[in-house]
Amino acid sequence: MSPRTKEQYDDIRESKKKLILDSALDLFANQGFHATSISSIAKKAKISKGLLYNYFESKEKLLMEIMNSGIQEFIDYFDTNEDGILSDSEFKYFIEMSLLTLKSRTNYWKLYFALALQPTVFSILKKKYRKLIESTLAIMEEYFKNKGYKNPKMQALMFGAFMDGISLNYVMDPENFQLEEIKDYVIKSYLNLNDDEN
């Protein structure tokens, strides 16, 4: 057989890297970053400890890559509204996508909340998230303002808190927290309010 091409090698590298990222995310999310050892990640990914360091230069860097790739995915989802103005259907889409990503990337969000609670660990990531959160809040504020709310800033803040609370409850016990039903509840609560339940 002929030796592998550059592309094949890259494919292997890429898929192995993903394997490590996924293994680490699962463990970090469910046991905590500090309680997860490099050994256990390597074991879960069925590779040697040494190889892991071939892909990530430290445990912290590994965490950073996990978090960065996660936030990027999130940004990509919501990148559509670059004008900063939210229509009702875009607002609905935002809610739907938020709850969808919660379901498809539960471990990521679990880890996100755990890290967000620990300033020491989080400080490095904070900048990136803060920007995202602030811009999201601003868009929401604008949305509520256009809807005629008296205090759109507070309204946006509380909407954010509400979504966070739902997210938190979901990641803490995904089995017993029915997202479908909740999605309907949230959309109904926010979109049909002034229509009098349509």
Partner DNA sequence: AATGAATGAGATTTCATTCAT
Partner DNA sequence: GATGAATGAAATCTCATTCAT
Query: H or E segment at 141?
Result: helix 119-146
Residue of 16, 92, 145, 153 interacting with DNA (CB under 7 A)? 16
Residue of 15, 87, 169, 190 interacting with its own copies (CB under 8 A)? 169
Residues 16-75 that bind its own copies (CB under 8 A): 30-35
**Residue 5 or 120 with smaller CB distance to its own copies:** 120
Integer Cα distance of 137 and 140 in angstroms: 5
**Residue 62 or 171 with smaller CB distance to DNA:** 62
The closest alpha carbon to 100, from 74, 125, 124, 65, belongs to 74
Q: What is the 3-state secondary structure (H, E, C) of 79-117?
A: CCCCCCCCCHHHHHHHHHHHHHHHHHCHHHHHHHHHHHC
Q: How far is CA 129 from the centre of its chain?
A: 10
Residue of 24, 25, 59, 141 interacting with DNA (CB under 7 A)? 59
Integer Cα distance of 140 and 162 in angstroms: 13
> Which of its own copies, DNA, none does residue 113 bind (CB under 5 to 8 Å by kind)?
its own copies
> Which of DNA, its own copies, none does residue 39 bind (CB under 5 to 8 Å by kind)?
DNA
Would you state the torsion angle of the CA atoms of residues 115, 27, 33, 63, taken in this order, to the nearest 10 degrees?
A: -70
Residue 197 binding its own copies, by CB under 8 A:
yes
Interface residues with its own copies (CB under 8 A) are 30-35, 110, 113-114, 116-121, 151, 154, 157-158, 160-166, 168-169, 171-172, 181-182, 185, 189, 193, 196-198
